[in-house]
Amino acid sequence: MAVTIDLSRDAPIAPPPYPPTGAEEGRAARGYWAGVGRRVVRDPVALAAALVIIVIVFAAILAPWLGLADPYRGSMLRRLRPIADAVYRLGSDELGRDMLSRLVYGGRLSLLMGVLPVVFAFSAGSAIGIVAGFVGGWVNTAIMRTVDVFYAFPSVLLAIALSGALGAGIFNAIVSLTIVFTPPIARVAESVTTQIRTRDYVEAARVSGAGPLAIIRVHVLGNVLGPIFVYATSLISVSLILASGLSFLGLGSKPPEPEWGLMLNTLRTAIYVQPLVAALPGAMIFITSIAFNLLSDGLRSAMEVR
Amino acid sequence: MSADEIVDVEGLTVDFLGGAKPLRAVAGVDLTLRSGETLALLGESGSGKSVTLRALMRLLPERRAIIGGRLRVDGQDVRALSNRDLSAYRGRTIAMIFQEPGLALDPVYRLGDQIAEAVMRHDGVSRRAGRARALELFERVRIPSAAQRLDNYAHEMSGGMRQRAMIALALACRPKVLLADEPTTALDATVQIQVLLLLRELQRELGLAVIFVTHDVGVAIEIADQIAVMYAGRIVETGGCRDVIRAPAHPYTAGLLASRTGRASSMGARLPVIPGAPPDMENLPPGCAFAPRCKRAQSLCERGDPPDVSVGPAHRARCFLTSALLAALPASGP
Amino acid sequence: MEALGERAHAAQSSPSPLVGEGRGGGSGSCGTAVPPLPTPTPDPSPQGGGEKRGPAQPLLSVRSLVKHFGGRRSFSGRSIRGAVHAVDGVSFDVAKGQTLGIVGESGCGKSTLARLIMQIIPADAGEFLFDGEVVGTHALDLVAYRREVQMVFQDSYASLNPRLTVEETVAFAPRVHGLSRRAAIARAHDLIFRVGLDPKRFAARYPHELSGGQRQRVNIARALALQPRLVILDEAVSALDKSVEAQVLNLLIDLKSEFGLTYVFISHDLNVVRFMSDRVLVMYLGKVVELGPSEVLLGAPRHPYTMALLASMPSMDPDRRTTEAPLFGDPPSPIDPPSGCRFHTRCKFAAPVCAATEPVLAEIGPAHRAACFLAMPGSGHPQAGPIA
C-alpha cells in the first residue's frame, strides 16, 4: 500500500492534508486527574499507603457492624490483659475494655480531628492565598504579613494556646487546629498563584478581555488547587498527631470516648505492666500518619510528571 | 580505522530505560572524523543528535542509558574507560560547549578561577600558572579587557561573552576533539556569526576536530567540512558540505533545503514544506522512518530499513531510491 | 458583545463564499450550525465616519511611543538614572491587509513594543490610533480594542493552560464575550479545522499531548477566535523546528488572505521576516533605525545596522562563506544608552556628528525612512552626499 501525500495546495479552499505519523493516531485524550490516578496506582508505596488508609477509614466507619465488643464496657477483673489473650484479641485497657474495639472506634474521632481541620484550613487558606497572590501589590503584602504573624508560632504551642483559650472539647480542638493550619496553606497558595499569574496563558486570557473572576475561575484555580491540595494532604499526618497530642493533654476529647491520643494518656500508667498494649494507640497514630505522608508524596510525584 | 582518524564511531546505539519498553534514541550511527575537520550533525528535535554527542563523552545517565556499538576517540575505547580514566579523558581529549553557557559555568565562582581550577587539575600546575593560562585563553577567544574579565562572574557578562568564556573553559586543557551542542542557537545573529568565525579560527590554529550539532542549515554551511543529517536516530545522509547542499540525495535533506525561507522566490509564495511532524520515537513506523512524510515513498519503503548506499565520492545516503531508481520514477516534487 | 452577534447575523444573511462550499467538514464536527466567520468587509460604523474607516486609513498608527522600566531618581529628583529605555519614541503605521515585520536583536525593545501595542503594559507616553480612532477613548474603549487586536506568543507551551483542552482554550474568549457554550465550541472546532488540525482528533486533547507546531496552531486558532483585524505575532515561529516553521508560515499566509488580517510580525530571523513582510521596521535599543518596503530595505539597506544584520546571516552558499564578522561585541544593554546615535559605538561609519546629535527618522526614498546621518544628504556626516 503506497503512502501518497498530496502536497499541492494550489486551491486555498482545499482542506489541509492530515498525513498520519503514527503518534497521532489512536491516542484518546486523557484527563489530567485520570493520568494522576493511573500513576498513583502504579506506584507500589503510594498504593500500599492508600490501601492502609482505606482499611482504617472503612473500619472506623463500619465499626458498629464489624462484630466488635462494646468499647465502653469495662470489666474490673479483666484489666490490662496482654495481646492475644483468650477473650481480648489485642488485650484490654486499664478499665478492662477491649483494645481492638477501642482502637477501631477510636479511629473515628482521631481521623475526624485529624482530617477536618485540614479540610477547613484548605478552603480558608486557599481563598486567602489565591486572592493575595492574584491581586498582588499592597493587598498581597497586607494579607501575607498578617499570615506571617501566625506562622511565626510553633504549631504545637499555637494549638495548645488556642485550645487552652477556647476551652477543652472536640469542637474547640478542631477550631484551633484549623487556625493553626490556615497560614501555611495560605502561604503555599499565594506563592503558587503568584507564579501562575505571570504565565503567558494568563496574559493571553487577559488580552482576550476576560475579567479577573473569569480568569481565576478558568485559568488559575485549575492549576493552583493541585499543588495546594498535595501540600494539604501532607499536613494531615501533622494534624493527626497534634489532635492526639491535644487529647493527650486533656484539651481535646474527654473520657470515656475512645480516641487514640486520649488512650495513650490513660494507658500511661500501665506502661510497666503491659508495655505493648500501652503502645498500641501510639502505633495506630504512627501507622496512619505515615500512610498519609506516603500517599501525599506519591500524589506529588504523580502530579509532577507532565 | 586509518591513522589520523581521531573519532571512530560504528554502530552506535543508545537505549533509554524507564518507560514501558526501552526507547531507542540512536539506532546505529557511524561517524568518522579526522583532526582539523568539522562535522555538522544536522537534524530537528528528536533526531538523536544531542544524545549522540553526549554518548561520546559518556554524559548520559549511567543506569538509564545503555550505549552499544564501537566508540573510539583518539584510540581509546570510550565505553571501556574506568571512572578515573574518564575524568582524564574529559577535558584532555574531548570537551563540550553547550547551548546555555549557564550549564557549564558555575555562577558562584569567578570565571578565571574556574578555568584555572580545570588547568590545575589536569596539568598539575600551580594556581598562578593556571591563571596565566586562563588569561591566555581569554585573549585567544577575543574577550576584550581579558585581564579584568577574569574576575567577572558569569552573570556579569553578556550572552556572547559568556559563550566565549565557555569556549575558553572547554579549550583549557588542550582537547583534541571539541563537541558543540547548538552553541549559537540562543545568540543574536550578529553575535552568532562572531562565534562561528571564532570557532573556525580556533579550529585552524589548534587543529581540533569539531562535531557541531545544529538544526540551522545556514550555520552548518558556515562551519562544516562534512555534514551528517540525522533523522529518527539515524544518519540518513552524510557527505562533504558542498555535495550535501548542492546535490542532496535523501528526500529529507532535500525537503529541509527546499523549505528554507531564504530561498523563497518571491514574497508571499508558498514554501514547499515537509508535511507532518517529526516522528514519535516510541512509535516508529516499520521500514524507513521518513516514509510517512516522504513525497517519493513507495511500498518498498515500508518493508525494511533502507540500506546505506554510496551516491558519490564520500557521499552516502540511506534511501532505497538512489539516483538510478529516482531517474526511473515519474517527475515529482516542488 | 452585541457586535459579535451583529457580525454573525450579517454573515448568516449573506454567506461568504469561503465558508461552506468546497469544505466537506466545514460545519464543525458536532454537526451543529457554526456561527460562520464572515467575509471581511468594512463595518458600517455607527457614527457613519466613512473616511475614517476606509481602505487608505492605516489600521494601526503608533506615535512617539515611550516606555521606560525602573530606574532611580537622582538626588535632585530631576533625572532618572539606570532606567531601561525599552522603547524610546517609536512611530510607525501599519496599512490594512499588510504585514509589517519588526526585526532587531535582544534589547531592542520589540517584545516590549508588542506588549505596548496589545495594551498589556501601559505606555509612558505616546498614542495609538486604531483605524483612525484613538484607543482608550469612549469611541474605542479597551474592551472593543481587545477584540480587534490579538497576539500569538513565542512559547507555545507556556501560552496554553495545561488544564484546558484545545477546544476549551479556543472557546474561552468567545465565551467571555457572551457567546453560548455550544456556539463557542462550534466556533472553536471550525477554527481548529482552519488551522490545519482535525477537530475529531485534536479538539479534546491537552497541550502536553501536542507537538510544538500543533500547539502553535492552537495558539493561532485562539488568537482568531474573536475575529480580530490585527494579529501580532511575537516570535511565533522562532521556537519551532525548521520544517514545522515552514508549515506554520504557509498557514499564516493562508489565514491572512482568508480572513483579511493585518499582521505585525516580530522576529529576529531576517529570512523569515523577508518572506512574510510587505514592510520592515528595524529596531535598535528602543529606537526605529530604518523603515521601508521589505524588498528595498533588505535589498539595499541604508542604515549601517541593517547592513550589519543582513551581513550577519549565515551564508547559504558553501563556496562563499562569511569571512569577517560585520559587528563586534554584543548588543549593548538598554540601560543608559549611548549619546547621540545609539549605534555609533559599533558603527563602521561613525563620525563626530553621530556621537553629538541623535538622528531623526527621515525620508530617504519613497516610503523608505532611516535614522542615520550617513543616509541623509547635508547632515554633516563627511560621507553623506550634499543636498541634491
Cell numbers standing for residue B44:
530537528
Whether the pLDDT of residue B41 is over 80: the answer is: yes
B295 in Cβ contact with B319 (< 8 Å): no
Q: Is C16 on the interface with A (CB under 8 A)?
A: no
Q: At what angle do helices A137-151 and A170-197 cross, to 10 degrees?
A: 140
Whether the pLDDT of residue C328 is over 90: the answer is: no
Q: If you average pLDDT over every residue of chain B, what do you get? A: 87
Q: How confident is the model at residue B160 (pLDDT cuts 50, 70, 90)?
A: confident
Residue C47, classified by CB atoms within 10 Å of its CB into exposed (0-12), middle (13-18) or buried (19+), is exposed
The C residues from 283 to 312 touching B (CB cutoff 8 Å) are 294-295, 308-309, 311-312
Cell numbers standing for residue B160:
556572547
> Which of the residues A1, A5, A6, A8 would you substitute to probe the B interface, choosing the one with the greatest number of B C-beta atoms within 10 Å?
A5
Task: Give tens-digit pLDDT for C147-188.
Answer: 889 999 988 888 999 888 999 999 998 988 888 999 999 999
> Which of the residues A4, A6, A7 would you substitute to probe the B interface, choosing the one with the greatest number of B C-beta atoms within 10 Å?
A7
Are C161 and A15 a contacting pair at CB < 8 A? no
Which of B96, B84, B33, B30 is CA-nearest to residue B59? B96
| Domain-located, residue A64 | yes
Bridge partners (DSSP) listed for residue C94: C60
Q: Is C208 on the interface with B (CB under 8 A)?
A: no
Q: Is B329 on the interface with A (CB under 8 A)?
A: no
With beta carbons under 8 A apart, name residues in chain C contacting A222. 161, 163-164
| Domain-located, residue A37 | no
Q: Is A222 on the interface with C (CB under 8 A)?
A: yes
Peptide bond into A256 cis (omega under 30): yes
Say which residue, C278 or B2, is predicted with more confidence. Answer: C278
Dihedral of CA atoms C194, C265, C237, B260 in degrees, nearest 10, equals 100
Q: Work out how many CB contacts closer than 8 A connect B with C.
A: 136
CA–CA min distance C329, chain B (Å): 7
Which of A301, C201, C119, A79 is CA-nearest to residue C128? C119
Give the chain C residue nearest B194 (alpha carbons). C325
d(CA A142, CA A128): 11
pLDDT for C52: 56
Domain at B1-93+179-262+275-285, CATH class: alpha beta
Where residue C227 falls (left for φ over 0; alpha for ψ -120 to 50; beta otherwise) is: left
Q: How confident is the model at residue A9 (pLDDT cuts 50, 70, 90)?
A: very low
Task: Give tens-digit pLDDT for C180-212.
Answer: 999 999 999 999 999 988 888 888 888 888 888
From the CA atom positions of chain C, what is the Rg in Å?
A: 23
CATH code, domain carrying A296: 1.10.3720.10
CA distances, B246 to each of A152, B232, B239, B325, C130 (Å): 71, 23, 11, 20, 48
What's CA C377's distance to the chain center, in Å? Answer: 32
Per DSSP, which regions of A81-223 are E strands? none
Q: Is B292 on the interface with A (CB under 8 A)?
A: yes
Task: Give tens-digit pLDDT for B264-288.
Answer: 555 557 888 888 777 878 888 888 8
What's CA B152's distance to the chain center, in Å? Answer: 29
Q: Is B283 on the interface with A (CB under 8 A)?
A: yes
CA–CA min distance A295, chain C (Å): 23
C212 in Cβ contact with C241 (< 8 Å): yes
Query: What would the mean pLDDT of A5-12 be, rounded to a whole number?
Result: 30
| Domain-located, residue A11 | no
Query: What are phi and psi for residue A170, nearest 5 degrees?
Result: -65, -45
Query: What would the mean pLDDT of A37-62 be, rounded to a whole number?
Result: 89
Q: How confident is the model at residue B323 (pLDDT cuts 50, 70, 90)?
A: low
Stated as kind and residue range, the H or E segment containing A280 is helix A275-304
d(CA B273, CA B294): 11
Q: Is B245 on the interface with C (CB under 8 A)?
A: yes
Which of C333, C284, C286, C272 is CA-nearest to residue C116? C286
Query: What would the mean pLDDT of A162-191 be, rounded to a whole number?
Result: 91
Residue B128, classified by CB atoms within 10 Å of its CB into exposed (0-12), middle (13-18) or buried (19+), is exposed
Task: Give tens-digit pLDDT for C339-356.
Answer: 888 998 888 888 888 888
Q: How confident is the model at residue B2 (pLDDT cuts 50, 70, 90)?
A: low
Q: How many CB atoms lie within 10 A of CB B30?
A: 17
Q: Is C222 on the interface with A (CB under 8 A)?
A: yes
| DSSP assignment of B34-58 | ETT-EEEEE--TTSSHHHHHHHHTT
Q: Is C145 on the interface with A (CB under 8 A)?
A: no
Of C309, C311, C318, the CB nearest to B245: C318
Query: What would the mean pLDDT of C20-43 be, rounded to a whole number?
Result: 39
Domain that holds residue A133: 51-68+82-304
Query: What would the mean pLDDT of B118-144 be, rounded to a whole number?
Result: 90
> Which of the residues B293, B296, B300, B301 would you substitute to probe the A interface, choosing the one with the greatest number of A C-beta atoms within 10 Å?
B293
Give the chain C residue nearest B279 (alpha carbons). C211
Q: At what angle do helices A99-135 and A44-61 cross, to 10 degrees?
A: 120
Residue C52 carries which DSSP code? Answer: G
Q: At what angle do helices A275-304 and A32-42 cross, to 10 degrees?
A: 130
Task: Give tens-digit pLDDT for C64-74.
Answer: 999 988 877 66
Query: What would the mean pLDDT of A258-263 be, rounded to a whole number?
Result: 88
Query: What would the mean pLDDT of B206-229 be, rounded to a whole number?
Result: 93
| Domain-located, residue A157 | yes
Query: What would the mean pLDDT of B22-34 be, rounded to a whole number?
Result: 91
Hey, is B70 helix, strand or coil? strand
Q: How confident is the model at residue B326 (pLDDT cuts 50, 70, 90)?
A: low
CA–CA min distance A199, chain C (Å): 7
With beta carbons under 8 A apart, name residues in chain C contacting B263. 316
Largest CA distance in chain A: 98
Q: What percent of chain B has pLDDT over 70?
A: 93
CA–CA min distance C284, chain B (Å): 13
pLDDT for B181: 93
- Residues 6+ positions from B18 with CB-CB distance below 8 Å: B64
Query: What would the mean pLDDT of C87-104 be, rounded to a whole number?
Result: 92
Q: Structural domain tally of chain A?
A: 1
CA–CA min distance A306, chain C (Å): 7
With beta carbons under 8 A apart, name residues in chain C contacting B218. 313-316
pLDDT for C204: 87
Q: If you average pLDDT over every residue of chain A, what do you get? A: 83
Of B275, B283, B295, the CB nearest to A22: B283
Are C243 and B217 a contacting pair at CB < 8 A? no
Cell numbers standing for residue B147:
585581564
Type of residue found at B164: R
Are B275 and A19 a contacting pair at CB < 8 A? yes
Cell numbers standing for residue C367:
516610503
CA–CA min distance B234, chain A (Å): 17
CA–CA min distance C177, chain A (Å): 8
Whether the pLDDT of residue C379 is over 80: the answer is: no
> Which of the residues C154, C241, C276, C345 would you substitute to probe the B interface, choosing the one with the greatest number of B C-beta atoms within 10 Å?
C241
Q: How many CB atoms lie within 10 A of CB C8?
A: 18
| Domain-located, residue A18 | no
Say which residue, C21 or B155, is predicted with more confidence. Answer: B155
Say which residue, A79 or B240, is predicted with more confidence. Answer: B240
Q: How confident is the model at residue A40 (pLDDT cuts 50, 70, 90)?
A: confident
With beta carbons under 8 A apart, name residues in chain C contacting B264. 274-275
A291 in Cβ contact with A208 (< 8 Å): no
Which of C242, C197, C247 is CA-nearest to residue C221? C197
Task: Give tens-digit pLDDT for A94-147.
Answer: 888 888 899 999 899 888 988 999 999 999 999 999 999 998 889 999 999 999
Bridge partners (DSSP) listed for residue B308: B318
Are B299 and A2 a contacting pair at CB < 8 A? yes
CA–CA min distance B17, chain C (Å): 21
Q: Is C216 on the interface with B (CB under 8 A)?
A: no
d(CA B78, CA B71): 6
Which of B170, B214, B194, B173 is CA-nearest to residue B43? B214
d(CA C166, CA C318): 43
Q: Work out how many CB contacts closer than 8 A connect A with C.
A: 90
Whether the pLDDT of residue A72 is over 90: the answer is: no
Whether the pLDDT of residue A236 is over 50: the answer is: yes
With beta carbons under 8 A apart, name residues in chain C contacting A216. none
Query: What would the mean pLDDT of A261-274 be, rounded to a whole number?
Result: 88
Are B273 and C247 a contacting pair at CB < 8 A? yes
| Domain-located, residue A185 | yes
d(CA C335, CA A168): 63
| Domain-located, residue A7 | no
Query: What would the mean pLDDT of B81-93 be, rounded to a whole number?
Result: 89
Query: What would the mean pLDDT of B313-331 be, rounded to a whole number?
Result: 72
Which of C376, C307, C378 is CA-nearest to residue C348? C307
Q: If you average pLDDT over every residue of chain C, what do you get? A: 81
With beta carbons under 8 A apart, name residues in chain C contacting A204. 151, 153, 159, 222
pLDDT for C321: 87
- Signed CA dihedral, B31, B34, B35, B36: sign only: negative
Residue B253, classified by CB atoms within 10 Å of its CB into exposed (0-12), middle (13-18) or buried (19+), is buried
d(CA B162, CA B141): 11
Q: How confident is the model at residue A63 (pLDDT cuts 50, 70, 90)?
A: confident
Which of C313, B139, C381, A154 is CA-nearest to residue B149? B139
Q: Is C59 on the interface with A (CB under 8 A)?
A: no
Residue A219 carries which DSSP code? Answer: I
Query: What would the mean pLDDT of B85-111 be, rounded to a whole number?
Result: 88
CATH 3.40.50.300 occupies which residues in chain B?
A: 1-93+179-262+275-285
pLDDT for C209: 83
| Triad C54, C59, C60: Cα angle to 5° | 145
Binding partners of C (≥3 Cβ pairs within 8 A): A, B
Query: What are phi and psi for residue B30, nearest 5 degrees?
Result: -115, 125
Its pTM stands at 0.80
| Domain-located, residue A278 | yes
With beta carbons under 8 A apart, name residues in chain C contacting A210. 172-173, 176
> Which of the residues C142, C156, C163 would you substitute to probe the A interface, choosing the one with the greatest number of A C-beta atoms within 10 Å?
C163
- Signed CA dihedral, B93, B96, B101, B106: sign only: negative
Query: What are phi and psi for residue C166, nearest 5 degrees?
Result: -60, -45
pLDDT for C135: 81
Q: Is C33 on the interface with A (CB under 8 A)?
A: no
d(CA B244, CA B317): 10
| Triad B262, B265, B269: Cα angle to 5° | 100
Residue A23 carries which DSSP code? Answer: T
Are C314 and B218 a contacting pair at CB < 8 A? yes
